[in-house]
Structure 1
């Protein structure tokens, strides 16, 4: 398999969605606990990145494998899905998927042996979501909870695991501490879940043809477009609350500047939902929000 095809198969461009929550969780740990474990953190970064690629690969080949073979889906199978377009064999797809996932699992288990069982439970949840997102008899992505699981798992769990790995030997896990991490990661959660929502909005008719009953199927496009817009508002609200309760530096509030281009992009998406034209706006929004969040959190560590 050519490197270009491999990178397309694992959707390498989407790694930003897991890298930035990883950075944010690390900055959170430094700000609140003044502690970082660079070696363990580097291994977690590699493990989470490999698993993200494995999940993307699994998603692509499961979509190809389970798509109905009829005239209505011929375009999807032959010109849209990366497996069909590049004639990737199912055997190749599985080797890549389980190879990446296997290496990630081994690294994760070693980290568990060094940091403790809480990481095991976090990891088991994440791996289960990663597989069942597009695998199994009833994939998560084909149902109404895809947005929740994608946003929560990538926006919160990666953030939370990064915090845990940096503080496992200093801070005990508590409901209060977990709740504070949840609020602090809220901006990332909503921004990332909106990527999935924008994708489902653009693919609504195709999903119905493929037998997927996403949340659009149940609540309709007009309602979910409103949810898409208000999700950004909710994320910014979480940011403000996190600063008020003292778990994020005040400099983080400068992330609110991103609301100007984010709401501009949102208006464009609300007017026109076309996969090849406007879906990218949700990715730009999430990248801009998380990047500015990380930059201003970093500045907050320096200037208080």
Structure 2
């Protein structure tokens, strides 16, 4: 398989969705606990990205296998059919990526075993289960109205929580209170990631209807869910402000609000033409903008202790 085809198969352009909560997690744990372990953090990052690629690849092969549209979707739209990737090769790639991630995940579990034994293992199991059933099983999560919730919470929150945990363990316990604080601080990441999934479903609403998928856009309508797409970014920003107000993030993290005009402009462009080949990129751009602005603003706040 050529590198270009592989990168398209694993949807490399969407990897920013898992990078955002990881970066925020590192900054969060440093600001709140002055904890940072380079080696285990790098291992966790590799695990996260390998699993993200495996889930994306599994999504593509499952869509190809079970699609009802034999002509347009299978032969042109879907990357497996478009590049004539064999099902066997696709499965081998998915198993290879997920197996390496599992092995490295066990290494991280061993290194962090201590004060809250089992936390990382539990998070890893949840990630694996959601990762598989997101596109696999008799009723894939991505074909239901819950795809946005699972993708946003699993990637936006659990990745950040895992990042915080591996930098605290084994010397410090991860409490339920801290888990709640991390959830509030992860709000911008949760909504940015869920909106990538929502943008995908907004663009694919007719295709999803044709293939029998019951996404939330199919059930509630494109117009209504476009409004929710807009509001979700606003809720993410509000959770950012709330995190600063209660002291979970430095005050200068509010500088990230300066990204709002850029996100607003991308939202207008997305709303004008909801065609995947032309508009989906704006959801990705929003995630990049939010990643950079959040990381820079929080980094500045940590640097100047404000």
Q: TM-score, normalized by length of structure 1?
A: 0.97
Equivalent in the alignment of 2:78: 81
Q: Secondary structure at the match of 2:248?
A: coil
Query: Which deviates more from structure 2 when the two are superposed, residues 264-273 or residues 274-283?
Result: 264-273
Matched, 1:111 2:112: no
Task: Give, in angstroms, the shift of residue 170 of structure 1.
Answer: 3.7
Equivalent in the alignment of 1:172: 173
2-side partners of 1:182 and 1:290: how far apart?
Answer: 17
Task: Give, in angstroms, the shift of residue 174 of structure 1.
Answer: 2.0
2-side partners of 1:155 and 1:14: how far apart?
Answer: 13
Q: Secondary structure at the match of 2:212?
A: coil
Task: Give, in angstroms, the shift of residue 152 of structure 1.
Answer: 0.8
Equivalent in the alignment of 2:87: 90
Task: Give, in angstroms, the shift of residue 171 of structure 1.
Answer: 3.0
Matched, 1:247 2:244: no
2-side partners of 1:173 and 1:112: how far apart?
Answer: 14
Indicate if the aligned counterparts of 1:269 and 1:279 stay in contact, CA closer than 8 A: yes
Q: Secondary structure at the match of 1:213?
A: coil
Indicate if the aligned counterparts of 1:41 and 1:166 stay in contact, CA closer than 8 A: yes
Q: Secondary structure at the match of 1:277?
A: helix
What are the superposed Cα offsets for residues 247-304 of structure 1, whole Å, 9 maximum, x if unpaired?
1011110000011111121122223311111121111111101221011111111111
1-side partners of 2:140 and 2:148: how far apart?
Answer: 13
Indicate if the aligned counterparts of 1:73 and 1:210 stay in contact, CA closer than 8 A: no
Task: Give, in angstroms, the shift of residue 86 of structure 1.
Answer: 0.9
Equivalent in the alignment of 1:51: 51
Give the 5 Å matches for 1:159-238: 159-238=160-239
Equivalent in the alignment of 2:284: 283
Equivalent in the alignment of 1:14: 14
Indicate if the aligned counterparts of 2:187 and 2:239 stay in contact, CA closer than 8 A: yes
1-side partners of 2:43 and 2:158: how far apart?
Answer: 16
Equivalent in the alignment of 2:133: 132
Query: For structure 1, which runs of at least 5 residues remain unmatched after alignment?
Result: none
Indicate if the aligned counterparts of 2:168 and 2:174 stay in contact, CA closer than 8 A: no
Task: Give, in angstroms, the shift of residue 114 of structure 1.
Answer: 1.9
Query: Which deviates more from structure 2 when the two are superposed, residues 188-197 or residues 277-286?
Result: 277-286
Q: Secondary structure at the match of 1:278?
A: helix
2-side partners of 1:82 and 1:47: how far apart?
Answer: 24
Aligned length: 301
Indicate if the aligned counterparts of 2:47 and 2:105 stay in contact, CA closer than 8 A: yes
Indicate if the aligned counterparts of 1:143 and 1:215 stay in contact, CA closer than 8 A: yes
What are the superposed Cα offsets for residues 101-144 of structure 1, whole Å, 9 maximum, x if unpaired?
00000110121122131001101111111111100000000000
What is the root-mean-square deviation of aligned Cα atoms in Å?
1.1
Equivalent in the alignment of 1:142: 143
Equivalent in the alignment of 2:34: 34
2-side partners of 1:120 and 1:75: how far apart?
Answer: 42
Equivalent in the alignment of 2:4: 4
Q: Secondary structure at the match of 2:275?
A: coil
Q: TM-score, normalized by length of structure 2?
A: 0.96
